[in-house]
A and B are shown apart, each in its own frame.
Chain A
């Protein structure tokens, strides 16, 4: 094969030399930009990109139209008259059941769920990953393996026992209960993330700190934490989007007045009573998707790292 390659490249060189003789100096080839390959390549990518953007576009356009225009017009056409009424209504007046205070309640519930859940789950998992990486004790790996295997168990299997546990403690239906549930189910992937990261750090660092007399918490707070900020950012991205987007735990472990935004959104849009206001529904849908979208567009490449790690989440 090497011989063939050599002779091939020899041929190519000779041909190139010939063509250079014939047509003078050839720098970059201008025809390359509009070659058939490029048209096909970029054409396909642009068509697919439009397909991916279409739902977002339709959501935005619909949310800015009045209902009469929606009934008459085409979902793809831009609004003739832009109105922000649906957004205001979705935020502060849309009804779920008897409550008519809009999605704002769900939004603040989601904030009160997401912030403590993210902090708690990352605090637990990072210390835990650190213990697993640097302070291994007998049996630790066994529990860790159980934890990772457990990530693949469908949540449905564990939902009801947790209901019983939370009810026994007396926090079933509260935001505290849901925060604990999120921390539990975030643990496998986050612990794995932190353990792998801390394991990859140079061990001399840890040894030197030990020689200097630093203990478990001292090394964690003064060395590991400041040196691993990128992985903390990845973990935060992973958890904020994951917890904000959660529906199942929200619907199981909270009551109507503590429902997170996703659950409330679903109740607003899929409620059977009343006239369907599609523009309000779409405004509400965008509002719910806004937080993870902002996280996504701001975080860029780190998001990709986060999901590559989080994708394994059962």
Chain B
């Protein structure tokens, strides 16, 4: 911009540099430094205090031999697939319904999005109450006459992660709907006119014309959902505290518990490094697609 005319020295543009000190410190000390520190210490046998006593990949071997971690990973995968599929499908369908030039669009959008304003703690506690077998939905249906009705996902270890997913979907689909709606609004009206004139049924227009055109929106949404999946923590803490037993543990909770309760820092660092790795696996291909392929930005 304006700094290309004169040859510059360190003091030039000093104010801008001063203003950027917080950013530089955050980027270098916290993001780069902190990450490198954690990865480095994940190769040590730190217990209560971090110590540089290297033990190679021991923490990782132990991690992948711990049933609780394996359960966490399995839960994350199930939760992830459910979140991805259902929030994309429901979010898109809701957006498509709202895009039909309906009345009260703002009211409907406000209703679908309000859970997103609530914290995961609040979300988790409400759904804990709704899914309470003694008072919640199960009890209500039984009182209606179906005395054998059983719906207690939070107390049944084989389906508890689905109970958590229900709450997560309630909280998060509104956001996906909003992103999709913005995408749909960006589509040229003429495309719809042409499809109508050609007599293509509406669902076919969506599946074969509109969705392929919305590819960038879908990719961005996918990254947003994926980033949210990996960090799921508060919802589980509020809804089940990881129970029954260890049936609804997730990696983020494993990290926290090992760092701050079990006083086994090395395990916590190794687990968090695995989390980092999973994010890298998702983000790098996306960044490559988004910024690597086409150079115009």
Contact = CB atoms under 8 A, between A and B. Distances in A.
Given A1-B198, A265-B121, A293-B117, A75 B136 contact: yes
B224 A311 contact: yes
Contacts of A233: none
A281 B129 contact: yes
A200 B16 CA distance: 19
A84 interface: no
B73 to A, nearest CB: 14
A137 B170 contact: no
B118 A135 contact: no
Interface string A114-136: 00000000001001101110111
Contacts of A136: 1, 3, 16
A18 B24 CA distance: 73
Interface stretch (A92-100, A224-232, A300-308): A300-308
Contacts of A266: 121, 125, 237-238
Given A74-B140, A160-B269, A288-B119, A41 B102 contact: yes
Interface stretch (A20-28, A149-157, A169-177): A149-157
B117 A247 contact: no
Contact of A308 (B182, B199, B231): B182
Contact of A314 (B3, B125, B231): B231
Interface of B: 1-3, 8, 12-13, 15-17, 19-20, 22-24, 26-35, 37-39, 50, 94, 97-98, 100, 102, 108-122, 125-130, 135-137, 139-140, 143, 170, 174-175, 178-179, 182, 194, 197-199, 223-224, 227, 230-231, 233-234, 237-238, 241, 251-252, 255-256, 259-260, 265, 268-269, 271-273, 275-276, 279, 283
Interface of A: 1, 4-5, 8-9, 41-42, 44-45, 48-49, 51-56, 58-59, 62, 70-71, 74-76, 124, 127-128, 130-132, 134-138, 140, 143-144, 146-147, 149-150, 152-162, 164-165, 183-184, 187, 191, 203, 207, 210, 215-217, 241, 244-248, 251-252, 262, 265-266, 269-270, 278, 281-282, 285, 288-289, 292-293, 295-297, 300, 303-304, 307-308, 311-312, 314
